C-alpha cells in the first residue's frame, strides 16, 4: 500500500543563493583516473599532450563546473616544482600516500591545462605536509602572476604565456589525518598558525584568490570537532572556507543505512556551521565562514570484525601499513583495469551522492563548494576503450542543469523510519538516526528565468508514495513536467545500467499548482515549473 507524502514549497522561505561550485568534482592520481582516463599517450584519441580526447569531449558535454586537484593525500608528499618543464628533466618519486611510482608525466601545468581543455575551473591543493610557505608563494606566483619574476617567466618558458588565474586554493589536504605524510594530527594549533601565515602570503602574491583551511578530515575521528576549533582560532580571519571531507558507509545490501546517509552529512554540516559561528563570535569578526565539502561519497562496505575496547581508535593498519612485503606499483595508462560494478543496487549508487548534494542545497547559504570524489567518473564513465554513462550520472546531471538560482525550503510531511546505530569496523561506527523521512527533497528557484525545480527522492525501498507537491504560494507558474528514474532490476550489472535512465511520468497531474504523483520505491524525481508567458 502506498504511503502518503506531501512536500510544500513557498517562494518566501529562501535559504540562500546556490553556488554552481557545489556541483564540482575531485581528482587525485589513484589507480587509472589520471594515468588512464585523463592521460594515455598511446590511446587512439590522444592529443599532442597525451590527453584522451574522447574523455575530454564527454566531460565537455556535462555541466560539471569545477574540479579540485591534484589531490588528495598525494599532495602532502608531492613537490610541484619537480613536475614542471620538459618531461625528460622531471623527477620521478615514490608516492607514499598510495604506494605508487609517480613519474610526473602529468604535472602542475598538465593538470591546469587539462582543466582548460575540458572547461573546468581548477581549484588547487597545495602541499602543507612536506611543503611550506615558500613553496606556496612560488606556486601562486608561477600560476597566477602576469610576468616579470623568475617563477612567472618560467611559466611562460614552459609554454603558458598567460596566468592560469586559479581562484580557490586549499591549504593542504586532511592535515589532521594520521595517514597523512607530515600530519598535523598532534598539533592543530601549529597547523592553524601555518595556514594563517601561508594564506596571508599567498594573498599578498595575488589578492584575488580565496583559501580553504583543513578542518577534521572526518567527523568519525575522535578529535572532531575540537581539532577544528583549535585550527580556526588561529586563522579565522585570513581564510575564506573550511575544507570538509566525509565518506559515509553502509553495509552492503542494507537499504536503511544507505538511504539515511545524508542525515549524517546534515549532522556534520550543522556542527561545522555552529563551530564557525562560535569562532566568529570569539574573534568579534564580521566574516561569515563559507563551507567547502570538497571530498564526499556514499559507499558500501563489507562488515568486518569489531575489536571491542578500541572505541574510535585509529588502528595503524586501518589507514597505513608498515608491510615489508608490500611493493610499489607503476600504473600503466595503456593497461587499465576493466569496468567494474559496485556490489549494490544501481539505484542506491545513483541516489547516495544525489542526497548529499540535496543536503548542500538545503544549506546553500553556507555551503559554497562541493567536490564529489567520483564526480568525473559519474559525469563520464571511462575504461580503456570507451566512455559511457552510468545511472548515477542522471541525478547529478539534473542537479547541475536545474539546481541554480535560490534554494528554497521544502516542508515535508511523510512517514518515517528509525535507524539503529551500527558499526562496520573499528573506525566506521555510526550513531542512530531517529525519524528519517522516507521523502527527501530540495528546491531551486531561478528568479531571472522564473523556473522552479523540486528534486524528490523516495527513500523507501519497498513501497511507493502517494505524493502531493504543493506550490500554491508561487503564482504565474505552469507545470512543465515530472521525470522519474527507478528500476525493478536491483542487480548491479551492465544490463541494469543500460536500461536505467529518467523517463517522463505519464500519470502525474497538476491542478491549481498542486501536483499529484506516484513516487516509485527508491526513485529519483524531478518536478519542473516555468513562468507563464
Residues 260, 199 share a domain:
yes
Residues 450, 365 share a domain:
no
305: confidence class by pLDDT, cuts 50, 70, 90? confident
1: confidence class by pLDDT, cuts 50, 70, 90? low
Q: Given the C-alpha cell 544490463, which residue does it identify?
A: 495
CA 283 to chain centre: 30
The residues annotated as belonging to the active site are: 174, 295
Q: Who wins on pLDDT, 397 or 423?
A: 397
What is the predicted pLDDT for the residue at 529? 96
Question: What does the block give as the cell for 156?
Answer: 611562460
Find the domain containing 507 and state its range: 3-9+408-531
What ranges in 289-374 are assigned the alpha helix state H? Answer: 316-319, 346-361
Residues 204, 143 share a domain:
yes
319: confidence class by pLDDT, cuts 50, 70, 90? low
* Residue 14 domain-assigned (yes or no): no
Region 309-336: mean pLDDT is 74
What is the domain-level CATH number for residue 213? Answer: 3.20.20.80
Residues 414, 394 share a domain:
no
* Residue 520 domain-assigned (yes or no): yes
What is the predicted pLDDT for the residue at 310? 61
Residues 459, 441 share a domain:
yes
What is the predicted pLDDT for the residue at 467? 98
Asked if 77 and 95 touch (Cβ cutoff 8 Å), the reply is yes
- Boundary (domain end) residue, out of 370, 404, 438: 404
Question: What does the block give as the cell for 126?
Answer: 597545495
* Residue 92 domain-assigned (yes or no): yes
What is the predicted pLDDT for the residue at 318? 55
Region 415-434: mean pLDDT is 92
316: confidence class by pLDDT, cuts 50, 70, 90? very low
* Residue 361 domain-assigned (yes or no): yes
* Range name among 108-112, 189-193, 266-270, 471-475 with the lowest pLDDT average: 471-475
Question: What does the block give as the cell for 161?
Answer: 604565456
List Cβ neighbours of 186 (8 Å cut-off, separation of 6 or more): none
Region 81-110: mean pLDDT is 96
321: confidence class by pLDDT, cuts 50, 70, 90? low
* Residue 335 domain-assigned (yes or no): yes
What is the average pLDDT value for the chain, to the nearest integer?
94
Number of structural domains (the chain) is 2
Residues 172, 68 share a domain:
yes
Region 383-411: mean pLDDT is 96
What is the predicted pLDDT for the residue at 314? 55
β-sheet bridge partners, residue 125: 170
Region 398-409: mean pLDDT is 98
- DSSP one-letter code for 501: -
CA-nearest of 251, 178, 169 to 211 is 169
Per-residue burial over 239-277, b if 16 or more Cβ lie within 10 Å, else e, is bbbbbbbbbbbbbbebbbbbbbbbbbbbebbebbbebbe
Residues 387, 297 share a domain:
yes
Region 332-338: mean pLDDT is 89
Residue 308 reports pLDDT greater than 90: no
Residues 413, 400 share a domain:
no
* Residue 290 domain-assigned (yes or no): yes
Residues 424, 398 share a domain:
no
Please provide the DSSP assignment of 98-162 as one string: TTEEE--SS-HHHHHHHHHHHTPEEEEE---SS--HHHHHHHHHHHH--SSSHHHHHHHHTT--S
| Per-residue pLDDT tens over the stretch 355-390 | 999 999 999 999 999 999 999 999 999 999 999 999
312: confidence class by pLDDT, cuts 50, 70, 90? low
What is the predicted pLDDT for the residue at 209? 98
Residue 342 reports pLDDT greater than 80: no
Q: What is the bridge-based pairing of β-strands 439-446 and 451-458?
A: antiparallel
Q: Who wins on pLDDT, 477 or 454?
A: 454
Task: Tell me how crowded residue 457 is: count the other CB atoms within 10 A of its CB.
Answer: 26
- Boundary (domain end) residue, out of 404, 429, 458: 404
Residues 502, 479 share a domain:
yes
* Residue 24 domain-assigned (yes or no): yes
What is the domain-level CATH number for residue 489? Answer: 2.60.40.1180
Residues 67, 48 share a domain:
yes
User: Cβ-count burial of 160 within 10 angstroms (0-12 exposed, 13-18 middle, 19+ buried)?
Assistant: middle
Region 213-219: mean pLDDT is 94
- Boundary (domain end) residue, out of 371, 404, 437: 404
CA-nearest of 389, 396, 347, 362 to 25 is 396
Residue 35 reports pLDDT greater than 80: yes
3-class DSSP state of 471: coil
What is the predicted pLDDT for the residue at 322? 75
Region 225-240: mean pLDDT is 98
Residue 497 reports pLDDT greater than 80: no
Region 288-295: mean pLDDT is 98
Question: What does the block give as the cell for 416?
Answer: 518515517
Region 158-187: mean pLDDT is 96
Residues 229, 175 share a domain:
yes
* Residue 125 domain-assigned (yes or no): yes
Q: Which helix (H) or strand (E) holds 188?
A: helix 188-205
Amino acid at each position: 500500500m502506498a504511503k502518503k507524502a506531501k512536500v510544500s514549497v513557498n517562494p518566501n522561505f529562501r535559504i540562500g543563493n546556490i553556488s554552481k561550485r557545489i556541483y564540482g568534482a575531485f581528482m587525485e592520481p589513484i589507480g587509472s583516473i589520471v594515468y588512464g582516463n585523463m592521460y594515455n599517450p598511446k590511446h587512439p584519441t590522444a592529443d599532442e599532450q597525451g590527453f584522451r580526447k574522447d574523455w575530454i569531449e564527454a566531460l565537455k558535454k556535462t555541466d560539471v563546473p569545477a574540479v579540485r586537484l591534484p589531490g588528495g593525500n598525494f599532495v602532502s608528499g608531492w613537490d610541484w616544482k619537480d613536475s614542471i618543464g620538459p618531461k625528460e628533466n622531471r623527477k620521478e618519486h615514490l608516492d607514499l600516500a598510495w604506494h605508487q611510482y609517480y613519474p610526473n608525466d602529468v604535472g602542475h601545468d598538465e593538470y591546469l591545462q587539462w582543466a582548460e581543455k575540458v572547461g573546468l575551473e581548477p581549484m588547487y591543493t597545495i602541499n602543507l605536509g612536506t611543503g611550506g610557505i615558500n613553496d606556496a608563494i612560488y606556486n601562486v606566483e608561477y600560476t597566477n602572476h602576469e610576468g616579470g619574476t623568475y617563477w612567472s617567466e618560467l611559466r611562460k618558458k614552459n609554454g603558458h604565456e598567460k596566468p592560469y588565474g586559479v581562484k580557490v586554493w586549499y591549504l593542504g589536504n586532511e592535515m589532521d589525518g594520521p595517514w597523512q605524510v607530515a600530519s598535523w594530527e598532534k598539533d592543530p594549533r601549529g597547523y592553524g598558525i601555518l595556514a594563517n601565515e601561508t594564506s596571508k602570503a599567498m594573498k599578498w602574491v595575488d589578492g584575488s584568490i580565496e583559501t580553504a583551511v583543513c578542518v577534521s578530515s572526518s567527523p568519525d575521528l575522535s578529535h572532531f570537532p575540537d581539532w577544528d576549533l583549535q585550527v580556526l582560532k588561529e586563522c579565522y580571519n585570513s581564510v575564506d572556507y573550511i575544507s570538509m571531507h566525509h565518506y559515509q558507509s553502509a553495509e552492503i545490501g542494507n537499504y536503511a543505512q544507505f538511504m539515511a546517509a545524508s542525515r549524517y552529512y546534515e549532522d556534520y554540516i550543522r556542527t561545522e556551521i555552529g563551530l564557525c559561528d562560535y569562532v566568529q563570535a570569539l574573534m568579534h569578526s564580521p566574516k561569515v565562514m563559507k563551507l567547502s565539502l570538497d571530498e564526499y561519497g556514499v559507499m558500501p562496505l563489507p562488515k568486518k570484525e569489531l575489536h571491542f575496547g578500541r572505541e574510535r581508535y585509529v588502528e595503524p593498519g586501518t589507514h597505513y601499513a608498515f608491510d615489508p612485503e608490500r611493493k610499489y606499483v607503476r600504473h600503466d595508462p595503456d593497461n587499465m583495469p576493466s569496468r567494474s560494478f559496485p556490489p549494490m543496487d544501481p539505484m542506491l549508487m545513483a541516489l547516495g551522492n544525489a542526497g548529499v548534494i540535496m543536503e548542500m542545497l538545503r544549506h546553500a547559504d553556507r555551503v559554497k563548494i562541493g567536490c564529489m570524489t567520483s564526480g568525473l567518473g559519474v559525469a563520464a564513465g571511462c575504461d580503456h576503450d570507451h566512455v559511457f554513462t552510468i545511472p548515477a550520472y542522471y541525478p547529478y546531471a539534473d542537479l547541475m542543469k536545474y539546481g541554480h538560482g535560490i534554494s528554497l525550503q521544502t516542508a515535508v510531511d511523510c512517514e518515517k523510519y528509525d535507524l539503529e546505530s551500527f558499526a562496520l569496523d573499528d573506525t566506521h561506527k555510526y550513531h542512530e538516526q531517529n525519524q528519517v523521512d522516507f521523502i527527501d527533497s530540495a528546491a531551486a528557484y531561478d528568479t531571472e528565468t522564473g523556473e522552479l525545480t523540486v528534486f524528490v527522492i523516495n527513500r523507501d525501498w519497498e513501497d511507493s508514495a502517494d505524493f502531493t507537491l504543493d506550490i500554491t504560494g508561487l503564482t504565474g507558474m505552469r507545470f512543465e513536467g515530472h521525470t522519474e528514474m527507478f528500476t525493478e532490476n536491483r542487480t548491479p550489472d551492465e544490463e541494469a545500467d543500460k536500461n536505467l535512465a529518467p523517463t517522463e511520468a505519464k500519470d502525474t497531474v497538476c491542478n491549481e499548482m498542486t501536483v499529484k504523483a506516484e513516487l516509485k520505491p527508491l526513485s529519483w524525481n524531478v518536478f519542473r515549473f516555468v513562468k507563464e508567458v
